[in-house]
Chains A and B, each alone.
Chain A
């Protein structure tokens, strides 16, 4: 592994722009790291030829003095973003081999700004999961291990490939998506930064839909500054998405390092849940202390409907998913499993094409929307969303600028440890993150320390709609205050040659 892969996105940007470093060198270093890191299974599809061609074009633009904001910077793209001419699977067998003839708005903005695509990153199937273990293409593995242990850990999910690849320095940054915590939870598990922006901030056009009213694109990076740079390119109005907002994209990077003196930080007592590990509580207290030391004012707030957000989420998200995933019927693209007639073809295709978790959620979603149950489940859950959002609005109206919570109830767990026959155990991972999606707010996870097992832990900042800048400023304070979090040595790289022999 080369030192080039240890650069931050900002450092690499400055080096390429000042011609101290070519995009080709940078890209080759990352391609080599990817090749050596296949045991992490972070990528579903690697696109080295495309990456080098893009790098050469970037270098030509730099030479002409036309460098864009991300010129020549190699990125990984979550395989939920449709990429023109490159297989896009959503982590599902039903889309294996699907090659979109179009490019998602968000990824096209990255290419517009000069970035280089290294490949498509692993994820939970249709982004449904919190460990990346539901991927048809096998689980992505965290580069983290407990000291002295060879047991594999999950990178979190659903953006597990994104988090693993960024943490393991396989790409400078990655795109991700977050429906109930799928950016923030894997970022917390892997010691990376992840931001889910305000609903409507990034276009959903060309991103495979899971739950339309909750899905939002965002980046996973190694620093707060890098997240700000990435979001600056990913965000923006898209006339092709009716829920995309026409508000100018601020200079997010300028917010990194800005003073937080006088900012009012709300601490919601409802996030102090039963059975929460003491180390999480301690981390939270530290975060509060760091923000106070930076001049922020900390107040206790009440978000009384917090505990209803997760059960309501597990009605709304499956309901929307059951409808969004109806298009995977074997007719126009994707897997087709024959049957004696059309009905059997549908049933066989969808039974074989979807994995257990996706089938389970489609079933739940279909049930809660079915005749006689709509009011009791879906309608009620949407009313509870109103209550959840109202809680936040009340806090913001009282002068709170941002809310600080733990990002996850625990550090990363082992591969195969959760889930299985008990879906609820896995669902509880999203307890702290899901409220943000239900209310459409921006949320950011920033590494803040290590667990007793020396695994990363993150804190979450929740902001007012479209005030991502506040989150970047606060997150930078936490990142600078927190102890350095050093990735274990590249154990995966050592095993790579063996795997190839």
Chain B
């Protein structure tokens, strides 16, 4: 476990600075309907078409809680190894804003559904940090105001109003932009494993409020600024760095940091103050009298716990232990639940497969292909069975690794859906291991290039040239080990 290392400190004009980051992540619960109404949560619908009278806060409307959202909050809490509170209370957070129809947000203030937990974050394959979770609570999302459609009007769409959010509050345990990015990435992975949030940052299913402060190493915490609603992992990193540099600039010029809410502008690469959020808030929290305290027993929690999937940390440990993978490969493979499942399926099809070789292919050429077509690996046309077949062909010497790349190309091209072994047969890609044919080719090359034969005696690195020629002569199908052996024998090196 790494502690604060020098590499994370920022060099200022007057010495080193340490960044301190805490985050509030708003994760949309993957529910069909809203937290307190039966309107849909679907993305991208026509204005106000997914709004009930409850969501529009019409007079006399009342909230009734979605039991699925409660269960997902508990499951997420279990995934964060957190304290589950058997009694929690919904409070009203009172403030006026046009996209907040009730004039208050139903949230949980004093008694959240989930208490303290932690997340193990891989900053690099070699370096892990623990980020403490302070709490997780359920709350309503607000609607959406657009301000750029008209010179003197804003427009309000309440489709998001009342959508269930889990606000996950971290401790200020993060010390760099990279750690901040890795934390959000890991949290997103856990949420997606649990299926409690789809983690789609582009659609706003996962948003981060990033609290940044700086201090001299060893000093107490500095004044923080909150950067609201950062909506990509890359921007989170940029926002942390940009804001830290802004604060260091002010402090080194003898200024003081004003605690405030800021907005990250990725286009300009800067954070700026949000005037509308400037006024002093007094949210007047009090328990929502339309709802009773939310209570459940340990049996309810136990049933949800029993049904929890294997989570990324456990899966990674198992991959390292059972498959002999490097921590790096294991980390890459467990980043997405579907990818890990794809990998395990490929390993498990048939018998005696080399799990490391499967991992190399899945995280290498197959991942590269998936990336090129903009799909996750499991969603491409490549099946785990095909990967298993391909690896088997390499292991039993039917094809070389190089030819395997050609087979892969055919698998996603004209031979879509075909078994790798059939592709190899149909295209005559079987590796030439017949020494006779290789010897004939080598003899011909040596006869045609006596000068090179002379040179290679003094300069053994020339051997590569002979290998290349031999492979070319056999249409790339010669077994490279066999070519090497024949050449070494005939050239006497």
Query: Are B60 and A82 in contact, CB atoms less than 8 angstroms apart?
Result: yes
- Would A369 and B62 be within 8 Å (CB), given that A243-B292, A331-B156 are in contact? no
- Assess the A205–B286 pair: CB atoms within 8 A: no
Known: A205-B60, A323-B104. Contact between A331 and B94, CB under 8 A?
A: no
B59 within 8 A of A: yes
Q: Is the CB of A242 within 8 A of B60?
A: no
Determine if A242 and B154 form an interchain contact, defined as CB atoms under 8 angstroms apart: no
Q: Which stretch from A96-104, A224-232, A274-282 is at the chain B interface?
A: A96-104
A174-202 CB mask vs B (1 if < 8 Å, else 0) is 00000000000000000000000000000
In the complex, which residues 266-290 of chain B have their Cβ closer than 8 Å to any Cβ of chain A?
Answer: 282, 284-286, 288-290
Residue A320 lies at the interface, judged by CB distance under 8 Å to chain B: yes
Q: In the complex, identify which listed stretch (B50-58, B239-247, B304-312) lies at the interface while the others stay far away.
A: B50-58
Kindly state whether residue A241 has any CB partner on chain B within 8 Å.
yes
Q: Which single residue of chain A is at the shortest CB-CB distance from B92? A: A323
Complex contact B59–A327 (CB within 8 A): yes
> Are A207 and B60 neighbours in the complex by a CB distance under 8 Å?
yes
**Complex formed: what's the CA distance from A267 to B408 in Å?**
91
Find residues 359-405 in chain A having any chain B CB closer than 8 Å to their own CB. 366, 369-371, 374, 378
Q: With an 8 A cutoff between CB atoms, is A209 at the interface?
A: yes
**Interchain CB contact under 8 A, A369 and B59:** no
Which B54-83 residues have C-beta < 8 A from chain A? 56-65
Q: How far is the CB of B146 from chain A (nearest CB, A)?
A: 14
Total interface residues in chain A, CB < 8 Å: 43
Indicate if the CB atoms of B282 and A90 lie closer than 8 Å.
Answer: no
The answer to whether B96 touches A212, judged by C-beta atoms less than 8 angstroms apart, is no
- Interfacial chain B residues near A370, Cβ < 8 Å: 282, 284
In the bound complex, residues from chain B placing their C-beta under 8 Å from that of A204 are: 60, 62
Query: Is A208 close to B, CB under 8 A?
Result: yes
Please tell me if the beta carbons of A212 and B289 are within 8 angstroms of each other in the complex: yes
Kindly identify which residue among B56, B65, B98, B289 contacts A342, using a CB–CB cutoff of 8 Å: B98
Closest to B53 in A: A102
A451 within 8 A of B: no
Residue B107, interface by CB 8 Å: no
Cβ contact within 8 Å between B64 and A323: no
**B282 nearest CB across to chain A (Å):** 5
Instruction: Judge if A329 is at the interface, Cβ distance under 8 Å.
Output: yes
B491 at the binding interface (Cβ < 8 Å):
no
B291 part of interface (Cβ distance < 8 Å): yes
> A497 to nearest B CB, angstroms?
37
Asked if A8 lies at the interface with its beta carbon under 8 angstroms from chain B, I say no
Docked Cα-Cα span, A152 to B490, in Å, equals 126
A100 near B59 (CB under 8 angstroms)? Answer: yes
Instruction: Give every chain A residue within 8 A of B60 (Cβ-Cβ).
Output: 81-82, 100, 104, 204-209
Q: Residue-by-residue, is A47-83 near B (CB-CB < 8 Å gives 1, otherwise 0)?
A: 0000000000000000000000000000000000110
| Chain A residues numbered 130-186 whose CB sits less than 8 Å from any CB in chain B | none
Other-chain residue from A205, A331, A342, A371 in contact with B101 (beta carbon distance below 8 A):
A331
Would you call A319 and B286 a contact (CB within 8 A)?
A: yes
Question: What separation, in Å, do the CA atoms of A204 and B103 have in the docked complex?
Answer: 19
- The answer to whether A326 touches B53 (Cβ under 8 A) is no
Q: Are B292 and A346 in contact (CB under 8 A)?
A: no
Q: Is A327 within 8 A of B62, CB to CB?
A: no
| Set of chain A residues within 8 Å of B282, measured between Cβ atoms | 370-371
Distance between B292 CB and nearest chain A CB, rounded to angstroms: 7
B292 touches A329 (CB 8 A): no
A111 at the interface (CB under 8 A from B): no
Is the CB–CB distance between B289 and A329 below 8 Å? no
B contact residues around A101 at 8 Å (CB): 53
Q: How far is the CA of A322 from the CA of B283 in the complex (A)?
A: 12
Determine the distance from Cα of A400 to Cα of B179 in the docked complex, in whole angstroms.
Answer: 66
Q: Do A82 and B286 form a contact, CB below 8 Å, given A326-B96, A331-B101?
A: no
Residue of A nearest to B65 (CB): A242
In the bound complex, how far is the Cα of B282 from the Cα of A498, in angstroms?
Answer: 55
- CB proximity of B252 to chain A, nearest CB, Å: 34
A495 CB to closest chain B CB (Å) equals 35
Q: Does B102 contact A (CB under 8 A)?
A: yes
B58 touching A323, Cβ below 8 Å: no
Q: Which residues of B contact A82 (CB under 8 A)?
A: 58-60
Decide: A240 and B59 in contact? CB cutoff 8 A. no
Which of B59, B61, B65, B103 lies in contact with A88, CB distance below 8 A? B59
Q: Which residue from A208, A213, A378 sits with its C-beta under 8 Å from B59?
A: A208
Residue of A243, A333, A346, A369 touching B290 (CB-CB under 8 A): A243
Q: Is the CB of B102 within 8 A of A95?
A: no
Whether the pair A327, B292 counts as a contact (CB closer than 8 A) is no
Separation of A369 and B58 alpha carbons in the complex (Å):
23
Q: Which one of B102, B154, B156, B290 lies within 8 Å of A326 (CB-CB)?
A: B102
Chain B residues, Cβ within 8 Å of A501: none
Contact B57 A327 (CB under 8 A): yes
Q: Are B56 and A369 in contact (CB under 8 A)?
A: no
- Which chain B residues in 95-141 approach chain A with CB under 8 Å? 96, 98, 101-104
A20 at the interface (CB under 8 A from B): no
Instruction: Report the Cα distance A346→B63, complex, angstroms.
Output: 25
B290 touches A95 (CB 8 A): no
Contacts of B53 in A (CB 8 A): 101-102
Residues of B within 8 A of A206 (CB): 60-61
> Given the complex, which residues of A lie within 8 Å of B289, measured CB to CB?
211-213, 320
Closest B residue, CB atoms, query A333: B58
Q: Are B62 and A205 in contact (CB under 8 A)?
A: yes
Cβ-defined contact, A209 with B286, below 8 A: no
List the B side residues contacting A331 at CB < 8 Å. 98, 101, 156
Bound form: Cα–Cα A101–B436 in Å:
89
A369-B284 in contact given A82-B59, A88-B59 (Cβ < 8 Å): yes
CB-nearest residue of chain A relative to B284? A369
For the complex, is A239 an interface residue (Cβ under 8 Å from B)? yes
CB–CB B101/A242 < 8 A: no
A78 CA / B92 CA spacing, docked (Å): 28
Q: Does A332 contact B (CB under 8 A)?
A: yes
- Complex CA distance for A82 and B289, rounded to whole angstroms: 20
Assuming the contacts A342-B154, A370-B282, asked whether A240 and B56 have C-beta atoms less than 8 A apart, the reply is: no
Q: Would you give the shortest CB distance from B149 to chain A, in whole angstroms? A: 15
Chain B 427-470 per-residue mask, 1 if CB under 8 angstroms from chain A, else 0: 00000000000000000000000000000000000000000000
Cross-interface CB contact of B96 among A205, A239, A241, A329, cutoff 8 Å: A329
A323 touches B94 (CB 8 A): yes
B59:A205 contact, CB within 8 angstroms = no
Q: How far is the CB of A99 from chain B (nearest CB, A)?
A: 11
Measured CB to CB, the closest approach of chain A to B90, in angstroms, equals 10
Chain A residues with CB below 8 A from B101, complex form? 327, 331-332
Pick the 7 closest A-B CB pairs, nearest first.
A326-B103, A212-B289, A369-B284, A213-B289, A206-B60, A327-B57, A208-B59
Q: Give the A-binding residues of B (Cβ under 8 A).
A: 53, 56-65, 92, 94, 96, 98, 101-104, 154, 156, 282, 284-286, 288-292
Instruction: List 11 A-B pairs, Cβ < 8 Å.
Output: A102-B53, A212-B290, A242-B62, A323-B94, A326-B102, A326-B103, A326-B104, A327-B103, A370-B284, A371-B284, A374-B285
Interface contacts beyond A243-B292, A374-B285: sample of 12 additional A-B pairs, CB < 8 Å, sorted by A: A82-B60, A90-B59, A95-B59, A104-B60, A204-B62, A206-B61, A207-B60, A211-B289, A242-B62, A323-B284, A333-B58, A370-B284
